[in-house]
């Protein structure tokens, strides 16, 4: 199936492909259906349908110079290119472009860990480096520092950061884009730019100070299309001496407010890592009356829920705390946390967890779900959630994430529970929300009210329902002031549309910049909902 | 004539030695590629009495004992079959690009799996 970029003639496309081959070598330009198959998004919600976003070719440069040559050729023939790093951003687009016909610029061959500094706790990497690669490089050199990785370790630190991805350790490091320091970018005109101290030749402090002097522009390259990031520096976490876990439970539904308030105090004081909220009342899910109560219209009353809790000798909410640091400091921080919770919440209970020396043994890592990623150890263990071992029916081949940002308050959590429980009652999906749905504290200053929607490569009906559900959820979220932090390409336009303050002044500003720095609109048209003038009619 | 036959036998012996070395190198390469790209999901790690990694656990559910869940015990995965799965994906496993796993890499994985399944027989 020959695909051309929109508005590009076959002759110009062929000429561009010839120049791409000159730039990177014939073996690293792919145009056949067979070779382009793996550039499809395996979790696409339009899999096999006309609307599925497909590449016209893929080009795989090995160096910055080759990227520059590809960009110049693309500019000459006005052929759009879509950079990917490791291409593993599944549930958020995978290796496929935003706009059908775009040439994928596959940066996987640029896979060097360029610098590691175990005294300053920094790294400088290329986009094709995976979390596995970076972890191994640090281990091979015996450095006592941690990466913070997302669930799947085959992703790219650069790609994940650029999509505002998250991890599971300490707050500042969980925000992968926030822990960047220094970026190198190939611009649409083929020039190379470095941000921060990297703009001073031979500065030696590129990964020490992000701002340099003047505007700090590296933030412009996240979820956007102003350049192709070819290097990024990161701040890494010193390997702690020990790790401690503990769980706090509170008796009443309304106690969530104080629970979150104290957790926020602890996390923003840098005393704890990721807090894991839970709902002990899930133990009652075998009770049909209870199941009906937690999804009733308008939500259950606090009194109803408190009665279930007291009748069953259960607490309403829990939070597991993660402490990283010297053993004595962890013990003191846990004691301090207990004092703060006890002062605020009558009836609070404390459950001791583990106190372990780092590095953990393999058995200690396996003893708790996701403990590996909480210690910066990448894996693919999370894939079990989309395999037959979890879903024996094999109905779902994958999923996409619905991930609205809400404030870090109990008031927002209760409101989101009510709104999305009602929403899921009226839309077709096998997933849902209820009065026990807990927020994710992945980003350190906000909550994500996360759920997933299934995708299928064999059943278009599953995908149809997912698309309809996702669009409805985005609309409902926007009506309540909630916007998504991340999404697959086909939902980026409706999501950006919700960020509409000032008659969409943010989008108009983004697109004015786009037209200024990329007048031919060749870099990733549509990424982040930013469309160049030439392709603006493609906005969904 | 006898000299010719001796020379031919020596050449064959040398040839089979070189072939064995080439086979061993391919198996070794296959092990490296398998470890890097396949083992994180298809590895044999166990926690308690269950397979710990997602794809191995999934294949156990799929095959219900008719075939081994562990790829390294399979005897029915020549390069052609592997290519179908690697380039096309399967269920939740996405496809792999040539820039990740090349065609010679797939041949090497097949050689490695052949060697590991043979050891198990």
Residue of B58, B96, B97 with shortest CB distance to A388? B58
Residue of A37, A60, A109 with shortest CB distance to B95? A37
**Phi, psi (degrees; rounded to nearest 5) at A440:** -100, 135
Residue of B53, B61, B87 with shortest CB distance to A38? B87
pLDDT value of position B6? 53
DSSP state of A323: E
Would you put residue B64 in left (φ > 0), alpha (ψ -120 to 50) or beta?
Answer: left
Are the beta carbons of B97 and A379 separated by less than 8 Å?
Answer: no
Are the beta carbons of A90 and B94 separated by less than 8 Å?
Answer: yes
Pairing of strands B50-51, A81-84: unpaired
pLDDT value of position B18? 73
Kindly provide the ipTM of the predicted complex, given to two decimals: 0.94
CA nearest to B60 within chain A: A389
Are the beta carbons of A39 and B97 separated by less than 8 Å?
Answer: yes
pLDDT value of position A432? 79
**A37 interaction partners in chain B (CB closer than 8 Å):** 87-88, 95
Residue of A60, A94, A379 with shortest CB distance to B99? A60
List the domains of chain A with CATH numbers: 10-106 (3.30.43.10), 113-238 (3.30.465.10), 242-358 (3.40.462.10), 497-538 (1.10.45.10)
pLDDT in tens, A455-487: 999 999 999 999 999 999 999 999 999 999 999
Are the beta carbons of B41 and A380 separated by less than 8 Å?
Answer: yes
Contacts of A466 (CB under 8 A, 6+ apart): A45, A400, A429, A453, A454, A455
Give me A176's structure tokens: 């992968």
Are the beta carbons of B97 and A392 separated by less than 8 Å?
Answer: no
Start-to-end C-alpha separation, chain A = 24
Instruction: For chain A, list residues with pLDDT below 70.
Output: 1, 391-395, 428-431
Give me B108's structure tokens: 């090497």
Nearest to A275 by CA among A256, A299, A302: A256
Q: Are B54 and B74 a contacting pair, CB within 8 Å?
A: no
10-residue block means of pLDDT along chain B (121 residues)? 51 63 92 97 92 93 93 96 97 96 98 89 57
Distant-in-sequence contacts of A359-365, Cβ < 8 A, 24+ apart: A359/A239, A360/A243
Distances (CA, A) of B40 to A36, A95, A210: 24, 20, 35
Interface test with B, best of A24, A367, A380 (most B CBs within 10 A): A380
Q: Does B44 touch chain A (CB under 8 A)?
A: no
pLDDT value of position A394? 60
Are the beta carbons of B95 and A42 separated by less than 8 Å?
Answer: yes
pLDDT in tens, A366-405: 888 889 999 999 999 888 888 877 766 666 789 999 999 9
Please report the residues numbered 51 through 90 in chain B whose beta carbons come closer than 8 angstroms to any beta carbon of chain A.
52-55, 57-58, 60-62, 87-89
CA nearest to B47 within chain A: A366
Helix or strand run (H / E) with residue A303: helix A302-311
Nearest to A235 by CA among A118, A126, A323, A142: A118
CA nearest to B35 within chain A: A132
Supply the residues of A annotated as catalytic.
Answer: 92, 485-486
pLDDT value of position A1? 60
CA nearest to B69 within chain A: A389
**A366 interaction partners in chain B (CB closer than 8 Å):** 47, 52
Note the helical H segments in A146-255.
Answer: 157-162, 171-174
Chains A and B: how many Cβ contacts under 8 Å?
83
DSSP states of A85-105: SSS--TTTTTT--SSTTPEEE
pLDDT value of position A390? 72
List the domains of chain B with CATH numbers: 24-43+71-120 (1.10.760.10)
pLDDT value of position A89? 95
pTM of the model: 0.95
Residue of B41, B47, B95 with shortest CB distance to A383? B41
CA nearest to A110 within chain B: B99
């Amino acid at each position: 199936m020959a695909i051309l970029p929109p508005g590009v003639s076959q002759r110009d496309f062929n000429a561009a492909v010839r120049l791409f081959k000159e730039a990177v070598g014939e073996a690293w330009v792919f145009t056949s259906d067979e070779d382009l198959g793996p550039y499809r998004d395996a979790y696409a919600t339009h899999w096999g349908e006309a609307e599925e976003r497909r590449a016209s070719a893929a080009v795989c440069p090995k160096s910055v110079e080759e990227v520059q040559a590809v960009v110049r050729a693309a500019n000459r023939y006005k052929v759009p290119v879509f950079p990917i790093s490791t291409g593993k951003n599944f549930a958020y687009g995978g290796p496929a472009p935003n706009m059908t016909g775009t040439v994928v610029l596959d940066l996987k061959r640029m896979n060097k860990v360029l610098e590691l500094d175990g005294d300053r706790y920094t790294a400088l990497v290329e986009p094709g480096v995976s979390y596995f690669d970076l972890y191994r490089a640090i281990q091979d050199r015996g450095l006592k520092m941690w990466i913070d990785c997302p669930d799947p370790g085959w992703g790219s630190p650069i790609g994940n950061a650029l999509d505002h991805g998250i991890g599971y350790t300490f707050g500042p490091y969980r925000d992968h884009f926030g822990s960047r320091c220094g970026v190198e970018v190939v611009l649409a005109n083929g020039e190379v730019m470095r941000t921060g101290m990297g703009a001073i030749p031979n500065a030696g402090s590129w990964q020490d100070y992000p701002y340099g002097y003047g505007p700090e522009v590296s933030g412009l390259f996240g979820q956007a299309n102003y350049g192709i990031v070819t290097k990024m520096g990161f701040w890494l976490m010193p390997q702690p001496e020990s790790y401690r876990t503990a769980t706090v439970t509170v008796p009443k539904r309304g106690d969530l407010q104080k629970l979150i308030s104290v957790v926020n105090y602890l996390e923003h004081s840098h005393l704890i890592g990721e807090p894991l909220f839970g709902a002990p009342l899930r133990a009652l899910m075998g009770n049909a009356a209870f199941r009906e109560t937690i999804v009733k219209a308008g939500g259950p009353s606090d009194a109803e829920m408190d009665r279930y809790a007291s009748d069953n000798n259960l607490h309403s909410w829990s939070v597991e705390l993660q402490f990283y640091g010297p053993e004595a400091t962890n013990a003191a921080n846990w004691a301090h946390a207990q004092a703060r919770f006890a002062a605020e919440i009558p009836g609070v209970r404390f459950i001791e967890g583990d106190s372990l020396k780092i590095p953990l043994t393999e058995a200690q890592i396996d003893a708790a779900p996701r403990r590996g990623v909480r210690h910066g150890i990448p894996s693919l263990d999370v894939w079990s959630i989309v395999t037959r071992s979890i879903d024996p029916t094999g109905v779902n081949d994958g999923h996409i994430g619905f991930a609205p940002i809400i404030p870090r308050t109990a008031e927002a959590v209760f409101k989101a529970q009510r709104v999305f429980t009602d929403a899921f009652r009226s839309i077709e999906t096998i997933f849902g929300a209820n009065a026990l749905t807990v927020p994710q504290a992945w980003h350190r200053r906000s909550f994500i009210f996360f759920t997933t929607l299934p995708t299928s490569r064999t059943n278009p009906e599953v995908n149809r329902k997912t698309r309809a559900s996702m669009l409805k959820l985005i609309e409902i979220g926007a009506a309540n002031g909630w916007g998504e932090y991340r999404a697959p390409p086909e939902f980026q336009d409706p999501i950006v549309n919700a960020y509409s303050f000032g008659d969409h002044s943010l989008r108009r500003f983004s697109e004015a910049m786009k037209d200024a720095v990329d007048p031919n609109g060749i870099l990733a048209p549509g990424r982040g909902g930013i469309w160049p003038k030439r392709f603006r009619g493609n906005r969904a | 004539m006898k000299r010719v036959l001796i020379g031919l036998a020596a050449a064959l012996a040398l040839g089979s030695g070189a072939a064995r070395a080439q086979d061993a190198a391919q198996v070794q390469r296959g092990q490296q590629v398998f470890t890097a790209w396949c083992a994180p999901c298809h590895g044999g790690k166990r926690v308690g009495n269950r397979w710990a990694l997602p794809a191995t656990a999934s294949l156990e559910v799929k095959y219900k004992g008719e075939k081994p869940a562990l790829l390294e015990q399979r005897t029915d995965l020549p390069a052609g079959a592997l290519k179908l799965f690697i380039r096309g994906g399967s269920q939740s496993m996405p496809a792999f690009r040539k820039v990740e796993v090349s065609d010679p890499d797939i041949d090497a994985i097949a050689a490695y799996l052949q060697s590991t399944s043979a050891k198990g027989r």
